[in-house]
Chains A and B, each alone.
Chain A
Amino acid sequence: MITKDQQKLLDQLLASASHEQKIWLAGYMQGQVGGASAVAAAPVANKPPVMIYFATETGNSKGLSLQMMKAIKAAGYKVKNSPVNRLKVKDIKPDVLAIFVASTHGEGDPPEAAVPFFDAVREAPDGALEGLNYAVAGLGDSSYEIFCGAATDLDKELERLGGKRFQDNALFDVDYASHTPSWIEKTVKSMDDLFGVETAPVANVVADAQEVRTGRGYTRLEPITGTVKEIVNLNDIDSNKETYHIEIEYDDESVIYSCGDAAGIIVPEDQNGGDPAPRLYSIASSPSYHEGEVHLTVALATHANDDGTTGYGIYSKYLADLQQGDEITFYIHQNQMFNLASDDKDIVMIGPGTGIAPFRSFIYERSERGADGRNWLFFGDQHMHCDFLYQAEWQEHLATETLHRIDLAFSRDQEHKIYVQDRLRENAADVVAWIDGGATIYLCGNKDPMSKDVDQALIDILSEQKNISNDEAADMLADLEENDRYLKDVY
């Protein structure tokens, strides 16, 4: 198509051009032959591939990344998304446009699953991502001391590694859902500007992609008020624990929740000890079975004070002290990473202690829906006699065959401690058979050490049952996690 001389000139030019110059040239050439508008709806050569990397705990970052994908695709870019969980720095190609969406937890920390990636970024040498164009969006909660810490840290590190931000950081508060559509528009615009192209407005596309419920009842800024219908300590005398089952009635029909969602509890100012941040508790009720109610399963957190007295966690103490008829302020915190699988799918639920909460929701929901999928529960606590949370309900679910299988680990009912991960190992063959049959595995409860022990147990089980190496089993588990077949709600 071109002459040898032309080829020679072009080779010289490209050999001396930086990555950015090449991109500029590509855009320049495109402009020379007739502009971008003609090809807006289809990926074109001068628009580089876009990668959206998300670091998510409850699924909000992932949800936002999905919305962005839709809009960016519509703008004619090739776009993919991926969790950062197993991402290595060297896997980030400088010739892609990278958009990072990261949520922040605790004291400015990234989501648990994203920690290895954040560590890797911190340890990478200066200039490792020289030439990378990137943008960062952060999701956080401004009531915490460090707002969007994970996103701002990541931005600083990317800059140190030689990246160039093509758009200012966007840091979103809990009401992010009402602000993200305009930001997505702005982002596409910035991308177009960067490459000297134009895209038809994408606002409609963004609006269509809106799946996150927002407004009253869904953020801490616009909470609703319910009434305590019932509160009872589920643990019996002789227990070392106090775990409260709290039923909250509310009459706002527009506020709905899904299985797996959490309730953000707002403690009144005079009782919050100066900490206005809400606290999330997994919802233990089913939206269809317990209509108009939100149930919580709250462990009263205790610690020994220096003077030998017992101290209590502010939030759990506030909740534990509620009386029937008291008002309580809360909102629904959506958790898109913990959705109940479709009715035909088997599910394996691992929920020791208060980790049981979402599974109570799942089972009642599946019972109400008449779901065909089988349900297998792993529960554990200290003593069967006094700590078997919701025992009578599980017995009923077993009797009605809504719950198909239950395995119990009561750690202190015998000399050697038994935990849920031990029960998983005992049932290794069946666990793998369920996984192979398409079951989704859910894990809820304490992050440390429980969730790590369960991870290890699952890796060991897969390795042993499938006769593969530990690394391969770990990859398999990570694949399950990426494909939403292994979902965690750990804290």
Chain B
Amino acid sequence: MSKKYDDAPEVNEEVMNGLNAPENLSEVEGFKTSSRGLRGDLSEQMENRVTGNVTEYGKQMIKFHGSYIQDDRDRRAEREEKKLEWSYSFMIRLRIPGGDITAKQWLALQESCDTRATGVVKITTRQTVQFHGVVKARMKPTMQDFEDMGLDAIAACGDVNRNVITGSNPQYEAFHAEVHEFAAKISAHLLPKTGAFKEVWLDGEKLKEGEESEPDPLYQDRYLPRKFKVAITTPPHNDVDVYVHDIGLIAVGEGDTLHGFNASIGGGLGSTHGNAKTYPRRGDVIGFIPKDKVLDFCWQVAAVNRDYGNREERHQAKLKYTIDRLGLDFIVGELEKRLGFEFEPVREVPAFTHRGDPFGWVKDHQSKWYYTAFVESGRVIDEDGYNIKSAMKEIAEADISGLRFTANQNVMFTYVEEANKAKLEEILAKHGITIDAMNATRREAMACVALPTCPLALAEGQRYLPEFVGKVEALQEKHGIIDRPITTRITGCPNGCGRSYAAEIGLVGKNPGKYVLRLGGDYEGERLNSVYLEEADETEILETLDKLLGEYANDAKEGESFGDYSQRTLFS
């Protein structure tokens, strides 16, 4: 740590027990501290035309700039035959706190994606969008497009605070609007201070030789030990899966007044196959935070993990492991000490009732209308007469709404005036966008990207989801329970981007065609699921589900969800 952070809080070295000795730090830690504020040698690497890839150092650096290098794994053999290196390209993820953009921004985004990427904008579970297939030469122009439309990709990946997500549904509480604004406020408060982004992508002024990067009291020169995620929701809706993030904020208010948030810390879904030290963890709700203290609170939670998180093993670096290593009491005590106040007891809030999106129209408390349209796996494409890409374009061109990406990877047309509802419906109908034809299981299903682009994927994700859901639906039909939604999620690897650990039927990729089958999560998102089959192929999974769904159809209690039934009969 450099000298300019002398005023940083004192770290209790005793509890660290020798952890994070300089000689034991992971390689990535060295990358970060030597990067001069996340610059590294990215500018040079982007100019290198011998390869479309970047070095290991570059890979770590570019994450902080919202990007991963990927290659089309389906095409490796063919590229090798052509005497070309693998088909490398970049994924770029934007930072869109709360998922809100204007119609104009959407048009510019889609055009940029058509010109410079695959043309398929992907809505993610973090309420943002990402481009795939951006080759190296197009990285700078794409980043410059974002700048031109008033957006950026800063800290959308990497060991920093990621895109802040917040419940998208405005219908329940009048204070929802104020809650929603906190996504942008927290994002701004925890944004890295470095000028690297401007320098690397926007031809900003270059740091001079020997000059130090902009001081950053939160991230210092070492950033966080691992990614850090904040989610906010307004009960009874839990579309963000509030307990599975480093910080989960549950809004507390009355009428149109927001009071503050019940705060959960230490949630997280990532794990590693075969490593028992890794596990998904539900967050602990530690108290109520008044709204004027919540920015400080988020900042200090990140700072505590900055100081106490494991920087030797990245698999042990997240806040959830720090809490389990040092104890929740220690962490809470450290937070209260740093914040200068004690947490108030948790306040009573309405129970969560569901996580799925409110498809179709809902109205907020200022008489504005919101229409949520289903986007399968978040992929904005025209397919089989369901032309969501065309519909979004035409609605944006009509300039009668804003757009909001939901944590379920759908799109919501926001702030629609009563007078414009018919127009919006007309455009949707014209492009085949309907809700009715689809049953709830499909509408609420979710998957991560996985193959062929994600370098971490062990099995298929979004490409397989429609087929798998169809087969689950067939079983539901067979047992006469098609009208009961079952939260079904697939994630291509144990990192869990598809949030399969918080599903009633959760598949976690293990090998090509093989998944861990997890059951017993609840419909509302209060409880994580458990492993039922360690490594199963589709046939085995479907046979298992056939049997269980049959039993569920016959034996379930009144109103009991499949998740609750599985938990009761299989794991209790």
Residues in A with CB closer than 8 Å to B51 are: 395
Tell me if A20 counts as interface (CB < 8 A to partner B).
Answer: no
Which residue of chain A is the closest to B80 with respect to CB atoms? A392
Q: Determine whether B50 belongs to the interface, using a CB cutoff of 8 Å to chain A.
A: yes
For B, the interface residue count at a CB cutoff of 8 angstroms equals 18
A393 proximal to B (CB < 8 A): yes
Question: Cβ of B87: which chain A residues have Cβ within 8 Å of it?
Answer: 236, 385
State whether B137 touches A388 (Cβ < 8 A): no
Supposing A384-B135, A384-B137 touch, asked if A393 and B52 sit within 8 A by C-beta, the answer is: no
- Segment at the B interface, from A134-142, A248-256, A405-413: A405-413
Please give, as numbers and ranges, the residues of chain B lying within 8 Å of A393 by CB-CB distance. 83
Q: Which of A391, A398, A406, A410 contacts B84 (CB 8 A)?
A: A391
| A456: Cβ under 8 A from any B Cβ | no
Bound-complex Cα distance A233 to B51 (A): 20
CA–CA, A414 and B51, complex, Å: 16
The CB with the most chain B CB atoms within 10 A, among A383, A393, A398, A413, is that of A413
Tell me if A491 is interfacial: C-beta within 8 Å of chain B: no
B69 to chain A, nearest CB (A): 13
Q: Is B222 an interface residue (CB 8 A)?
A: no
Q: Give CA–CA (A386, B72) in the complex, Å.
A: 13
Q: Please tell me if A183 contacts chain B, counting CB pairs below 8 Å.
A: no
Tell yes or no: B82 within 8 A of A by CB: yes
Contact status of A408 and B49, CB under 8 A, knowing A236-B87, A385-B87, A414-B137 = yes
Interface residues of A in 395-426 (CB under 8 A from B): 395, 398, 406, 408, 410, 413-414
Q: Does B136 contact A (CB under 8 A)?
A: yes
Is residue B348 within 8 Å, beta carbon to beta carbon, of the partner chain?
Answer: no
* Contact (Cβ within 8 A) A410 B137: yes
A312 within 8 A of B: no
The answer on a CB contact under 8 Å between A234 and B83 is yes
Q: Kindly list chain B residues whose C-beta atoms are within 8 Å of the C-beta of A408.
A: 49-50
Chain A 51-90 residues near chain B, CB threshold 8 A: none
Flag whether A245 is at the interface (Cβ < 8 A): yes
Task: Report chain A residues within 8 Å CB of B85.
Answer: 391-392, 395
**Docked-complex contact B49 and A410, CB < 8 angstroms:** yes
Q: Is B206 an interface residue (CB 8 A)?
A: no
Complex Cα distance, B138 from A414, in Å, reads 8
| Beta-carbon contact of B82 and A232 below 8 Å | yes
Question: Which residues in B have their C-beta under 8 angstroms from that of A390?
Answer: 83
Nearest Cβ on chain B to A370's Cβ, whole angstroms: 23
Are A398 and B82 in touch, CB under 8 angstroms? no
B134 to chain A minimum Cβ distance, whole angstroms, is: 10
Chain B residues, CB < 8 A from A236: 79, 82, 84, 87
Say yes or no for B23: interface residue by CB 8 A criterion. no
Contact of A388 with B84 at beta-carbon distance under 8 Å, contacts A395-B50, A410-B137 already known: yes
Q: How far is the CA of A64 from the CA of B173 in the complex (A)?
A: 95
Query: Which residues in chain A, 359-398, are within 8 Å of chain B measured between CB atoms?
Result: 383-386, 388-395, 398
Contact of B50 among A232, A234, A245, A406 (CB under 8 A): A406
A234 touching B84, Cβ below 8 Å: yes
Do A245 and B49 contact each other (CB < 8 Å), given the known contacts A384-B135, A410-B137?
no
Are B82 and A385 in contact, CB atoms less than 8 angstroms apart? no
CA distance A3 to B51 in the complex (A): 86
Measured in the bound complex, the distance between the Cα atoms of B137 and A406 in whole Å is 17
Cβ-defined contact, A232 with B81, below 8 A: yes
Q: Are B83 and A384 in contact (CB under 8 A)?
A: no
Complex CA–CA separation, A384 to B49 (angstroms):
7
Q: Are B83 and A391 in contact (CB under 8 A)?
A: yes
Contacts of A232 on B, CB cut-off 8 Å? 81-83
B259 to chain A, nearest CB (A): 53
| B39-61 interface code vs A (CB 8 A; 1 in, 0 out) | 00000000001111000000000
Report B492-539 residues with CB < 8 Å from chain A CB: none
Q: Roughly how many angstroms separate A310 CA and B34 CA in the complex, as a whole number?
A: 55
Chain A positions within 8 Å of B82 at CB level: 232-236
State the Cβ distance, A397 to closest chain B Cβ, in Å.
Answer: 11
For this complex, 5 residue pairs linking A to B, each with C-beta atoms less than 8 Å apart, are A385-B137, A391-B85, A392-B84, A398-B50, A413-B137
Interface residues of B, Cβ cutoff 8 Å to A: 49-52, 79-85, 87, 89, 135-138, 141
| Besides A234-B83, A392-B84, A408-B49, 17 other A-B contacts (C-beta < 8 A) | A232-B81, A234-B82, A235-B82, A236-B84, A236-B87, A383-B137, A384-B49, A384-B52, A384-B136, A385-B52, A391-B50, A391-B85, A392-B80, A395-B50, A395-B51, A408-B50, A413-B138
Pairs of residues from A and B, 3 with the lowest C-beta to C-beta distance, nearest first: A413-B137, A408-B49, A385-B135
